[in-house]
Amino acid sequence: MAHPPHSPGFLALVKDAKSRVREFTIEEYRARLARGEAWVLIDTREDHEWEAGHLPDAIHISKGIIEREIERAFPDQATPLVLQCGGGFRSALAADNLQKMGYTNVVSLDGGYTGWVQRGLPVEKG
């Protein structure tokens, strides 16, 4: 299902958030994992997106509840977190909020699920 173009207001919010958020490319993220770095991958997409397919080893905490649930799931604010969504916009917004909450090692995955799939990388269903 094709999504309509993003609205100017949404894009302005994302641009602002990305000015404060660190991003990994998919290649950089995979290289870090290959070197043995331990990152927690959080898929911030909606339930129906998660069910249709997600990255291996991801956990699901949607953008709608991540600020409410993150401290319970990861009380250590230094936990290395990579947030991922469909393309890297919602995850940047969520990463910005987590930083405001005191999380110090949060990264957004640029390209997200769409970029991962476009590269032919493995996904899981359900």
Which residue segments constitute the domains of the chain, with CATH numbers given?
29-118 (3.40.250.10)
Using the structure block, give the residue that is written with the tokens 């319970």. Answer: 72
The structure tokens listed for 12 are 């302005």
Report pLDDT for 33.
Answer: 97
Q: Do the Cβ atoms of 66 and 91 come closer than 8 Å?
A: no
Considering the candidates 61, 82, 85, 106, report the single residue annotated as catalytic.
85
The structure tokens listed for 22 are 């660190």
- Is residue 102 part of the annotated active site? The answer reads no
Report pLDDT for 5.
Answer: 82
Alpha carbons within 13 A on the beta-carbon side of 96: 15
Report pLDDT for 2.
Answer: 57
Residues of the chain with pLDDT under 70: 1-3
Report pLDDT for 3.
Answer: 67
Alpha carbons within 13 A on the beta-carbon side of 59: 12
